[in-house]
Amino acid sequence: MKILFVLFFSLFITTAGWSAPFGFLPGVENRDNPNSPALLLRKIVDGKPVCAEVRNFRKDDTRTDEDYLEMLRRNYQAWFDYALKTVEESGREQEFEDILPALRTQIAVRKDCDTPDILLVILKAKEIAKACHSSVAVACVDNTSVPYKLYFAPKKGLVSLALGGNGVILSHELGHTLGFSDQYRYGRINSSGVYHTPDSSKGIMSSAKLGRSFSCDEADGLINLLDVGVYGNARGGKQGWRSFCANRAYKYVQGRPSSNAKYAVEVELPNVVVRTFDKAGELQNTQYFPDAKDYDFDIQTVFTAEEKDKSGRLLYGTSPRGEEMYCSYVYERKRCVAVKGSANVALLEEYAPAKNIQIISLAYSAPNNKSIWLRGFITKDEKLLVYKSHEALFEFDFSTGALVIKKQQVLTKNASSAEKEPQTVQEVLLQRKAQQAKEQALREYVGKKLLVFYERYIADTLPDDQAAKDFAPY
């Protein structure tokens, strides 16, 4: 089975509501990965300068490239200075003695490097909305590109003040280049399934606006990020260490809150990875499940819950066919993997990327080393179902009631099995009729699959006023 769905989350500034203290981008703990989100952080604490290239498309801008390089340096430095100040003011220097040299790092940002770490693109307000795919964006960073692309539209006067100032905006975006994920609602679903916190917060990764600044959460986060992403350190051993924030019921064990769920399900191509933690929060087991080959997964399968979380949600379950399912829940995202033996046979994803938007995806194995991808896109005003395989792409729109073939692959035959070109009108008609029969059979097959997918995975998750009573896509 090929994992057919990939999650793309734009990292842009927003003024969303409820948020969490900190989360890491997936993969920060993989120190052997040359593309790790914590790669630049490792370079910084190793005493090397951050290399930046500035491209300014604002002709009326009075700032120089050196001014922008200094803005980058100052806002990178703010992360380290605040964490160091927090440790010193708490009187816990001895507890964090090993990491103090890293927190005392003096950041250097320079240009004219052979290979820049960051490409800072200065744009006008109208252009930033297009670059960041958001009408409310002031800045955003593409942390999947090499080098990082940081798009920025500096503000002035009261507008800048209302947004928290250009410094707060940059500190938020530079946090992504260190390995931090967004922590505002909906944006936080791009957080690591392992390294994220459950509490509400008003920290700088939650939102960049008036009144927001570095908090104890950023101090917690940077120390854990250094331990996990740079040094591979399990601070405090089995007992972990307590947060700098007051009234936190959990401790950090191996860089994650001890209160987090037992399982973490993540996609690390080419595998789906399941990590298991004990009650104290220590990692007990890591299982890698590659795609199954030639397995016929039944999407009507019901898994019996063997383990549940405090909310009654399935954590681990089994099916009558001996399949196992592991589930993890990170903010507005649910991810479950069904496995058989040492391979994954299905991957279910449910998440809410924005208010009033729900996406449900199911990628699963089919015979002959094929795979099928089903997706439901649900908003307040629209419901759309998608079927995708190597053969075809179908869409069913509830508003029209039409099941439409968006794309169909034409399978070529080798010379020995090639059909003869029709020589007569009758042969042409017969061939066309046969093709229409194949398309109709495929349409009926797809319609049945979408019906089962909707009833099994979507209908029960919708409010009564959004559920479709008469769904017949074929």
User: 305-324, pLDDT tens digit by residue?
Assistant: 999 998 999 999 999 999 99
In the prediction, which pLDDT does 393 show? 93
* 434 Cβ neighbours under 8 A, 6+ residues apart: none
What average pLDDT score do residues 18-35 get? Answer: 78
Handedness of CA 50, 51, 57, 59 (dihedral sign): positive
Q: Which of 232, 188, 284, 204 is nearest to 38 (CA)?
A: 232
Residue carrying the six token digits 């090499």 = 146
Is a pLDDT exceeding 50 seen at residue 170? yes
In the prediction, which pLDDT does 208 show? 53
Q: Could you read off the pLDDT of 231-266 as tens digits, one per residue?
A: 999 999 989 999 999 888 889 999 999 989 999 999
Contact 263, 327 (CB under 8 A): yes
In the prediction, which pLDDT does 287 show? 97
* 94 Cβ neighbours under 8 A, 6+ residues apart: none
Q: Which helix (H) or strand (E) holds 218?
A: helix 216-225
Q: How many C-beta neighbours within 10 Å does residue 456 have? A: 15
* pLDDT band at residue 8 using 50, 70 and 90 as cut-offs: very low
Instruction: Name the burial class of residue 60, with classes exposed (0-12), middle (13-18) and buried (19+) by CB atoms within 10 angstroms of its CB.
Output: exposed
Q: Mean pLDDT across the chain, nearest whole number?
A: 85
Strand partners, 452: none
Backbone angles phi, psi at 397, to 5 degrees: -105, 120
What average pLDDT score do residues 369-389 get? Answer: 93
Q: Could you read off the pLDDT of 414-444 as tens digits, one per residue?
A: 444 455 676 777 776 777 788 788 888 888 9
- DSSP states of 120-149: EEE--HHHHHHHHT-TT-SEEEETTSSSEE
Q: Could you read off the pLDDT of 386-395 as tens digits, one per residue?
A: 999 988 899 9
* pLDDT band at residue 212 using 50, 70 and 90 as cut-offs: low
